[in-house]
Structure 1
């Protein structure tokens, strides 16, 4: 850091490193990378003329000249060095003019078209959609240069557009031939030696509950009465034993690690493993013997856990239920709720499975109440389901609230994840007291500054959150607020802001607990078909069960960072596919009027979420021509300087659909005054 005095002001120069977030207009913000434990730094504005050829996602070094006196404080960055170009490609359309090929980009983060190197077309034809990687910068012409890395197809076709979303986030959508061959070489039949040494659950009532269109069933529950006069209850949480089929270091293992997880787009699943594994060998399909790693719990007559067992098992599921079928059973027991009264409990569901659902539901309710009492945060947000036809065209968009059957499965998966972590924690080295290296799912408490900012934010809506002595007390206060605002128009916006005030959950070898769930010990164990982290946990658990020595944490931590990053990319791709289908659904609705709620505000406009579908679009300030509107970031409002007209989070408005941009996945609304 250097400092020099100028007339009436001081100029302070500081260097920062971080990742650029660029806009279509050409300017960018530096998201500063701060070492752990240090105070976060606000994003730094970098004007277009000072980017020095840097683009979105690039890791750069920026010099900031901060001028300050009594009257002003001004921060502006200047890129002085590009440490690493982003490895993520840009999606666009090939255009060939006078033997020069370009990619006309579609990204909201890319203000330039890419000039392709000679031989950089990869066979793409004029007008085709491609993924292109920026490899350099032409200083004389001031434009990026690059090459095509994937030819996606004809623009507008569903297959092309879904592949484009995957390519945009650097997610593969096909397996290499050698990876498919390794999967196909695996035998379909279970041999006696595969079952030897496993605890046998094949005669115990076992079932799965999954979405109606799922094919990869990686978890099952078993239930039976045991003990003297059947006073105790045994519940098994059975998870597909992927580690039996996939050897560490194999081609399949490497491919799964690179992917990190399965990706769920609107119309397809892009699996972490080839279909032979994900949908056949490891999928816990009914009436087939399947290998599992299980967590088995014994409950006494007072519903307390009195015994736990972890290890390898063999199971045979008796039936496969959808969440709606399971809910219908619960509704029948409770005289049916209107939400699922039209879905009859299937006659083919075995009586013992129906009875087990009732017990498991009651137990799940107790688990959930216990978590809430300990200070878990209750973010129960509705999900959107887009129904598409055979060609991928959207037919309808439905909002789905979580059912009790969803919560039943969730609570027993949480139980297994927590108890397995506690088991590993008890394997501590006696002389040092250190727990063996393990993969934890962690969620740190929110920063105190963000807690205070959120408290001030909701205060402007008339809600008072009491002062708290600890992050856990804050979670209890937050739950009270979320409960009060659940049915209010501003409720969804408050949930969004509450989520933004908290750090993201991630994987780590350092156990700091899971704040949102109120668990001091937590991992991900229950989905090894679709999450590589869970496969790592299975291998570590089985290693420690067999008396293995503690593994090294060093290499494990870098894998945790990689998997956290891949998880975030998959989440972004899933959201992008939903957004694309929502915009596609609105293509023929230009000019139509809708009602909605303001869910976000910025200096350039406000986001409006439509009733019944949760489709979101932007009302731009430039289209609000009746007044000059000023944005107040502290209370997130837009106010007209002449009329005093006021727009705030949660406010109901009427809009008409002005523009639909499918390429940008963008909806523009006009406010009906």
Structure 2
């Protein structure tokens, strides 16, 4: 560099700044500190190094760089790159989920990303035109899904590794002995990721909490929550803010609301429920019609936008229901106390009220803030007993509401809604929390009664806010949408049904739902019914939250949202706020609503994953003392690596791995959806009855390994 340039620090800074920007453009995924950059640019003077550090801070403020750790910067350059969330397969490859479709990432192109991370991807040229997905390489990790991982410690005299529980994270975390913090080999622990140098095979970490011995309920449930990024301890400021809320209703607020405390009102919930966020009321009108009220806990009255409670509820997105515990979205003082519609307690509610005639036609509707008092808390079983016997407390009201629900349900199904009758696996636990029984909970009329009126309220609220003709402009809103089914998946379902001798013909999307309902009706008493429904659900899109309304295919609704559960879903709390503003013609702004919809869709997904992991753990726990025993069962699913078998007497599912079937060389036929023996041609299909032996049980992997009885 010549003397003239040296005497002009402003010019020197400009040259260095351009050189640094070009360096980061060439290496968009690398992290540098100022010393490394000085060495690469051949600037070894102390003053120049100081200037470089200042430029890095300046570029960070301008948004061109991001400070990943103290003094270490990475480029935010994303031109010609796509962004999305990476999900790994068990074989080490990944798929980056973007708005434009999924991008395949080969195992060698994942570049230190982990399952769930938000990444930038450079698209590679397609080598094969027949490939369904684009192929790319990860060039940058925008955000880690979780800076903490859960796993089991393996230690020796010099160092230790944490082996992650999540099978989709196939890299172990190196932990120096100085950062073990009391953890012992064989124990389950939480590791905080510290760094992952570009040239290192493994990330470095520090143990921040020891969970205890593997396979204990407490350790495994905490591990499930942490692995899915679900917070389970409320910050002190959130608890403090919740505790300050009084359970006593303010009279001046009561005076602003419609007082419905004298109207017969009841809740119907599971026997172990503690957060009652919805109630139904009934009035018999003189004209022969019925006034039905759907009353929802007015969480929005207590949780203000921007408050600590609101920020924590947004972060969590929803409550999480594991087998042996609930991780609430709101502290218990609110969820089980202040907001819960407990019997014989006056509560603030947000209500949707409908005048309905004897034919189930909604004649009038009203939405607004109310004060209510539940007269009776029914469990589903208690309500079902009244419905079946025709006698019991509030029998006339309960039978009337049930009759109207059946009319609404019939109309909904005739309009193209799918009729899915879910069977939920439940466990009976002893005092120590160990499972002593596993059983299927079947949906009955009492469940359907509640469901039908919640659906009605959700639909009508969405229509009220979303109808542009009424408001003359679009109101930003959170919808619950369900896209039309994927034709390829429906075709697989059609092939699957052929195994049961069923034809499946359709001309359009509406036909698909009607034909599925027809199949369900024909096969409802057959042993394979639950499998048929499960396969039908897999052929459908996933329901998500969105700001653009496309309707809800599965329910057959043009408008749909979530309004009825604000204690346990952030979406409903937002809907309450927007509905209130719409009623009172307030044009409040909700910036980032689309990002919020994406966020709460993701928190819902992680909750589903955690709940599924919890179920798998307790299934394994339930059968761990039955190793070596034989059971009859049926094949419920087939993959390229094995067959899922549900053991009839246990209601639990395990896997027969194809490699364990030694009497022939078996393979998975994707077109036939079967496992077939290459030599003798023996064929296994979904629905086949088989006998199996429980060969191995792993609580840590939440896995039951089965072997076919020859």
Q: TM-score range by the shorter chain?
A: 0.7 to 0.9
Any idea what the Cα deviations from partners look like across 1:393-442, whole Å, max 9, x if unmatched?
Answer: 11111111101000000000001111111221346576xx4331111111
2:355 aligned partner:
298
1:55 aligned partner:
114
Identify the match of residue 442 of structure 1 among 481, 500, 514. 481
Any idea what the Cα deviations from partners look like across 1:349-403, whole Å, max 9, x if unmatched?
Answer: 3xxx221110111111111111110000112121111111222111111111101
- Tell me the CA shift for residue 572 of structure 1: 1.0
> Which runs of no fewer than 5 residues in structure 1 stay unpaired?
1-13, 334-344
SS in 2 for 1:33: strand
SS in 1 for 2:687: coil
1:396 matched to 2:437? The reply is yes
2:261 aligned partner:
202
1:481-520 matched pairs, under 5 angstroms = 481-520=519-558
Which one has a larger percent helix, Structure 1 or Structure 2? 2
Cα distance in 2 between the residues matched to 1:82 and 1:525: 38
Cα distance in 2 between the residues matched to 1:141 and 1:413: 53
2:45 aligned partner:
none
Identify the match of residue 97 of structure 2 among 33, 36, 41. 33
Cα distance in 2 between the residues matched to 1:563 and 1:17: 19
1:340 aligned partner:
none
SS in 2 for 1:586: helix
1:245 matched to 2:302? The reply is yes
TM-score, scaled to structure 2: 0.84
Instruction: Give the total of aligned pairs.
Output: 629
Identify the match of residue 609 of structure 1 among 643, 646, 649. 646
- Tell me the CA shift for residue 139 of structure 1: 5.5
- Tell me the CA shift for residue 142 of structure 1: 1.9
Cα distance in 2 between the residues matched to 1:17 and 1:296: 44
Any idea what the Cα deviations from partners look like across 1:131-166, whole Å, max 9, x if unmatched?
Answer: 224454356552232233544333333222211111
- Tell me the CA shift for residue 20 of structure 1: 4.1
SS in 2 for 1:627: coil
1:46 matched to 2:85? The reply is no
- Tell me the CA shift for residue 66 of structure 1: 5.1
Question: 1:250 and 1:477, CA in 2 relative to 1: closer, same or farther beyond 3 A?
Answer: same
TM-score, scaled to structure 1: 0.88
- Tell me the CA shift for residue 323 of structure 1: 0.1
Question: 1:157 and 1:452, CA in 2 relative to 1: closer, same or farther beyond 3 A?
Answer: closer
1:175 aligned partner:
234
Identify the match of residue 104 of structure 1 among 148, 152, 163. 163
Question: 1:556 and 1:81, CA in 2 relative to 1: closer, same or farther beyond 3 A?
Answer: same
Identify the match of residue 386 of structure 2 among 312, 318, 329. 329
- Tell me the CA shift for residue 455 of structure 1: 2.5
Cα distance in 1 between the residues matched to 2:432 and 2:210: 20
Contact 1:20/1:28 (<8 A) preserved: no
Question: 1:439 and 1:143, CA in 2 relative to 1: closer, same or farther beyond 3 A?
Answer: same
Cα distance in 2 between the residues matched to 1:34 and 1:186: 42
SS in 2 for 1:588: helix
Contact 2:188/2:210 (<8 A) preserved: yes
SS in 1 for 2:366: strand
Cα distance in 1 between the residues matched to 2:89 and 2:189: 21
Cα distance in 1 between the residues matched to 2:397 and 2:500: 45
Cα distance in 2 between the residues matched to 1:426 and 1:107: 45
Question: 1:84 and 1:301, CA in 2 relative to 1: closer, same or farther beyond 3 A?
Answer: closer
Any idea what the Cα deviations from partners look like across 1:39-88, whole Å, max 9, x if unmatched?
Answer: x55x73624x554444333435366565559xx98999674524346323
1:546 matched to 2:587? The reply is no
Cα distance in 2 between the residues matched to 1:370 and 1:612: 37
1:372-411 matched pairs, under 5 angstroms = 372-411=413-452
The range that moved more, 591-600 or 653-662, is: 591-600
Identify the match of residue 312 of structure 1 among 369, 385, 400. 369
Question: 1:23 and 1:504, CA in 2 relative to 1: closer, same or farther beyond 3 A?
Answer: closer
Contact 2:297/2:350 (<8 A) preserved: yes
Cα distance in 2 between the residues matched to 1:495 and 1:304: 30
